[in-house]
Structure 1
Amino acid sequence: MTTSLVEFSDYEANGLRLQLAGPPDDLAPYLSAYYRTEVEEGVEIEDWLPPEEANLRTGSATVYKAAIGGDAVIDVPPGVISGPTDRVTYLRIGGGKFWGIGLTPAGWARFIRLPASDMANRITDIAGSAAHGSLQAMLDALREDGDDVQASARLINETFRALPGNGLDSESAIRAVHLGFLSEDASSVASIAEMAGMKPRTFERFCKRHFGFAPSALLRRQRFLRSLGKYMLDPSMRWIGSLDTHYWDQAHFIREFRATMNMKPSEFAALPHPISGAAVRLTSMRAGVTMQALYHPDRSRN
């Protein structure tokens, strides 16, 4: 087992500190990132997070509220499983410390082992979930004593390495489909299904079980995130300059933006994005992509 130090990228401004690291090579197919967020006492921030893959999160704060899509704002439990999303997550936090761990689709299948569609667009208390008990213990430890990021990263590595996960027959197929959706050349569901060697109805069931959504929704999410990530990395550019090549025109993008983020692009641009903006910059530095859901599971972590 590796005992080398984990390299965390660090962003700090206006009472917010975000630290982000990638997993070691053996866990990179299953985990996309480890991230530590701190908000100073007396500071309260809001953000509107783009769609993402599943996460494990834990934290303690004076304010910790969230809502997915058009759902009501709720108080977030101390330790949660957040399923994959295809719409905006509103977040309001203040005076607290948080840890998060991003899961790839293969990581969800290997470690959580529930149909991803059952948890899509949901935030669930890990204490009432079917997740492995050691994951809850890990989140409890990170919440109670997570200030040492190196010790915390070792705990995360050790916890996931100890989980049972051998013999997952669908893992190679999940990886192939994941890479298919990540490809900027993928222009249709049919082309990805053909690449995966699946008939359309089988492919639909496969995607819902392992990725949370129908393949058409996943394809829309990826082109949307490529466009939004490019814009957020350089907000000085006009929206038209960030559009993915698979959009027919700007009106097509605006319709999908409103359906995904519950607002127009101009409204989003006018809002503060302290967490998501910092995450885009750090993720781009660490993994070469702007969004967690664009993370390439074969990317070297060195």
Structure 2
Amino acid sequence: MNEQRFYCYVCTMAFLADENCYKVHMVRSSELLQPFVTGCHIYETLPDKIDICHDIIFPAWTTIRFIMPGGKVMISLNGEEYRDIPIMAMFGPLSLLVRAQGLPGRIIGCGVTPLGFARLFNFPAVQCANRVLNLEEIWGARAHLLFSALQDCETAEMVMAKFEEFFAPIISKLTEKEVQIAKMMNLLTGSHGIEIDRAAQIIGFSKHQFLRNSKKYFGFAPKILLRRSRFLKSILAVASNPTENPITLIDEGYFDYSHFVKDCHYFFQMSPSEFVKLDKPIAMLSMKVMQKLTGNQVQSLQQIKF
């Protein structure tokens, strides 16, 4: 296996990982756009190196993905049969692992925060949770314009510039309600041992408001989101340190290892050992690139600065 290489462009906050037949390139959004769109990514599978790529997609906030001409991606969610996704796809917020396979090619996408979702889409996030929708049916001609513009981009920096231009209309100062939602997002990703009543009190919501806003902006009930963040931090630690005893790596909020295994079956539909052995080359590269770029291995653990 070739040695993995990282290149850092400090001025644009971009990182590239290149290993064998896969390339992952990510660029972070500008400071003004970051509360709404975390950044862009380019995934490439080289056709002269591999026929079909098998991979996974981690539980995440909403993601927009464009499959460039010649490519094809099929997914399986929650054990269902593999099915094609649209070339212009909107992945709603995910609590479950997605299995993916596709032909060699290029995928361009961007991560959308819960705040960004509310500004970009006119329906609650719970309606598209654990679903993949056709972006063309939501945005119409605007989706085609963005897709066309991205096809002409040769670098991730050019891609991010197109996204910045496209998303410029949604950039404005956060409202008082949005500040509460930003605090809620940071709490749900960083304080997974907290009780719901206490979390609502900290944000300034009643318990009912907290639950309603969780589904509207985040797609899931808060208990699921708190479990998701605890589990992801634990399973990522296990996957990143395969030679260590997993019991020493999981979050202290788990009663015992069987409790963690139960969560793994819930979110990933497999055991931790099965996940570690799973073929996931692009996902593993993405984890390393995102860690360099944001300090977190996956998009769903990123927090909003405001």
TM-score normalized by structure 2? 0.89
Q: Please give the residue correspondences for 1:141-180 in structure 2 after superposition, counting only pairs within 5 Å.
A: 141-142=149-150, 144-163=151-170, 170-180=177-187
Per the alignment, residue 31 of structure 2 pairs with 25
2:124 to 115, 127, 132: 115
The one-letter amino acid of 1:290's match is Q
1:137 and 2:145 aligned = yes
Q: Identity over aligned residues, as a percent?
A: 23
Uncovered stretches (5+) of structure 2, i.e. residues with no partner: 1-9
Paired residues of 2:188 and 2:226 also in contact (CA < 8 A): yes
1:14 and 2:17 aligned = no
1:100 and 2:109 aligned = yes
Per the alignment, residue 297 of structure 2 pairs with 290
* Distance in 2 (alpha carbons) for counterparts of 1:251 and 1:123: 31
The one-letter amino acid of 1:232's match is A
The one-letter amino acid of 1:28's match is Q
- The more displaced of 160-169 and 37-46 is 160-169
- The more displaced of 14-23 and 58-67 is 58-67
RMSD, aligned α-carbons: 2.1
The one-letter amino acid of 2:73's match is Y
Shift of 1:168: 5.2
Shift of 1:97: 0.6
2:235 to 221, 228, 234: 228
Query: Kindly tell me: are residues 146 and 234 of structure 1, through their superposed partners in 2, closer, same or farther at Cα, counting changes over 3 Å?
Result: farther
Query: Kindly tell me: are residues 116 and 165 of structure 1, through their superposed partners in 2, closer, same or farther at Cα, counting changes over 3 Å?
Result: farther
Paired residues of 2:41 and 2:156 also in contact (CA < 8 A): no
Per the alignment, residue 64 of structure 2 pairs with 56
Deviations 1:24-68 (CA, angstroms, capped at 9, x unpaired): 111111112210011111522111222111101001344311122
Paired residues of 2:65 and 2:110 also in contact (CA < 8 A): yes
Shift of 1:73: 1.5
Query: Kindly tell me: are residues 136 and 240 of structure 1, through their superposed partners in 2, closer, same or farther at Cα, counting changes over 3 Å?
Result: farther
Paired residues of 1:112 and 1:132 also in contact (CA < 8 A): no
Query: Kindly tell me: are residues 49 and 239 of structure 1, through their superposed partners in 2, closer, same or farther at Cα, counting changes over 3 Å?
Result: farther
* Distance in 1 (alpha carbons) for counterparts of 2:290 and 2:241: 14
Per the alignment, residue 218 of structure 2 pairs with 211
Per the alignment, residue 87 of structure 2 pairs with 78
Query: Kindly tell me: are residues 136 and 56 of structure 1, through their superposed partners in 2, closer, same or farther at Cα, counting changes over 3 Å?
Result: farther
Query: Kindly tell me: are residues 127 and 245 of structure 1, through their superposed partners in 2, closer, same or farther at Cα, counting changes over 3 Å?
Result: same
Per the alignment, residue 46 of structure 1 pairs with 54
Per the alignment, residue 265 of structure 1 pairs with 272
SS in 2 for 1:282: helix
Query: Kindly tell me: are residues 56 and 47 of structure 1, through their superposed partners in 2, closer, same or farther at Cα, counting changes over 3 Å?
Result: same
Query: Kindly tell me: are residues 201 and 132 of structure 1, through their superposed partners in 2, closer, same or farther at Cα, counting changes over 3 Å?
Result: farther
Shift of 1:136: 4.4
Deviations 1:145-172 (CA, angstroms, capped at 9, x unpaired): 2323222211111111134767756311
SS in 2 for 1:9: strand
- The more displaced of 196-205 and 288-297 is 196-205
Shift of 1:185: 6.2
Paired residues of 2:32 and 2:171 also in contact (CA < 8 A): no
Query: Kindly tell me: are residues 133 and 27 of structure 1, through their superposed partners in 2, closer, same or farther at Cα, counting changes over 3 Å?
Result: farther
TM-score normalized by structure 1? 0.90
Paired residues of 1:189 and 1:219 also in contact (CA < 8 A): no
Q: Please give the residue correspondences for 1:237-248 in structure 2 after superposition, counting only pairs within 5 Å.
A: 237-248=244-255
1:202 and 2:209 aligned = yes
Q: Count residues in correspondence.
A: 294
* Distance in 2 (alpha carbons) for counterparts of 1:124 and 1:267: 29
Paired residues of 1:67 and 1:73 also in contact (CA < 8 A): yes
Paired residues of 2:39 and 2:160 also in contact (CA < 8 A): no
* Distance in 1 (alpha carbons) for counterparts of 2:262 and 2:230: 13
The one-letter amino acid of 2:58's match is P
Query: Kindly tell me: are residues 295 and 267 of structure 1, through their superposed partners in 2, closer, same or farther at Cα, counting changes over 3 Å?
Result: same
Per the alignment, residue 128 of structure 1 pairs with 137
Paired residues of 2:45 and 2:104 also in contact (CA < 8 A): yes
